[in-house]
Chain A
């Protein structure tokens, strides 16, 4: 017990002695744990709201729809026989419909958007009665809009829209569990073809009276039909779909969808966020490791003398390593707790299920598994970064530890020879790199990680822009998905940039500290303060360049992988150039500050061996 007290006391005192370093460490690990927590916590967050909506609206367990195949002669509307047969299939206990569904063009407030217009009775349906949250249900001359869709259009009750040229006024907004909320309405081919063009993935959902819907069907775009079924065993939706088929003549297409699939589609909105945050979280973790490694490694060398004292007083290498690690482990645990807390509190902001489902999802469940993983990652980051220096410090012989001889730099003859040919600031910078090449590598690695993250985000933006550019009706409409994705990516970018900035400051400060003697000597021998501070900055920027360049292909690859093997999006060269230039400029700026401050102190203070 005495040993534990000793360890904790030494650790606490050291943390109090250097609060700034402790705070920086904490910041680095916390940023990583927050990102990771968010990624993990957003798993399956909308299941609650979906089930609530389904319960309130008596949503269907299975929906079945038929519509004319694309390219077919549109004269004959599809047959409803297949649907009618399903009404009495084994396992189905209730149904509503078949309802006519028309593909129409909606014009409102300067937007032109394709919609699915479903014809309904004014009376309440037995299965899938969408819940009107504002206004009233369908009546002649009126249209009810799906709530997310209405928000995207900026429409409210009382507004006017035109469907295929016919004018309607908006009588109400409603939520439903029968289709995914906008813009996920069309998936699994349950949308009608629209003028023979490829499926648009962003049709809106509206409800009309049956007569109005039928009137919207034209020879060019005939009606389809949809049937809502309630099963005796809702969980067996997939079995039901497999055992019954809607196969009909080739002139019509059909599909059956279970409620679980619709729920997943609704989840997609959030899962996109998760898809971005989880790899982003690992990137943040990588950056955090780099920060911690530099900070902790630097502190380990400062601690050599403490190590010597502990050993001279009888401490075993194990005890010494324990003391060195204890403070970092403590910080890691605090950071894990902070990360879990912050992540848990902010997850609702990113996981709000959207307007199309009832109610906020509430705080995402913080399972023991998530918490355990985050703590393990925080500890892992810390140990990965501090284990090697701690063990090395603990194994230093007592005598050399007490003499406090820091590891002398190894000679790199090639770099030294090359640097002699360069102008003075680069000479200084290159020789500083030669003294601690491992730190230069670490700097290159963390720049690479940062640029990878930013490039991945840019690739995502570019990909969405490409998709958006293909269809006019995206223009001007606020797409909730891309809006959400932008929001999440913005958060991720901010986290990555913060971590990168912290990382650079730490590395720059550590380099300046380590370079105190050589830079003071350089000034004593006649180097101007500007040459020295530019040299210090160069020592950081030169390794950052290959790192930034390497980050470009890595970022593109990361997006391609995270996008589940979808489009390989290469952002425009101007964006990439801007990222590289911006990163290098930021590195230079962040290191210029400690460098200039260091260059102001009189060289004599650093070089004097004793006061005389």
Chain B
């Protein structure tokens, strides 16, 4: 769970651990289904160690992380402000796949076209799943917007795979 995201979710007011989990679940919908509770608390512990968050146990109950109340420190708030102003975009990892195809062709390890087809099929399956999830959501939920983004990205990736297929087909017919 990315650190800055958790920080930002604490920015409004001090929050219980379980409330934090609930808010995340609501914002992510089906995407967050497999989100592990443990991952969040690991992140919170790291943030505590880094001095960006403080944890206060509620009266009476010790140790259980979801009962603790977490709060941003001044350093934490500053970090949130900086994060909000950043404009870097999540990096798509096309380079790895591109190199995979070239390596397979050069070293005769496998048929690039078969690799492309397999990847395409996988992406189509993911697209199917994402679409089904999107259709199950109501049009105004937060999760619906996120799912649309996932779908559109998968579409873009699939278009690139089609281009890969065209190019590698031409290369094969030329060789």
Direct contact, A vs B (beta carbon within 8 Å): no
Identify the A interface with B (CB < 8 A).
none
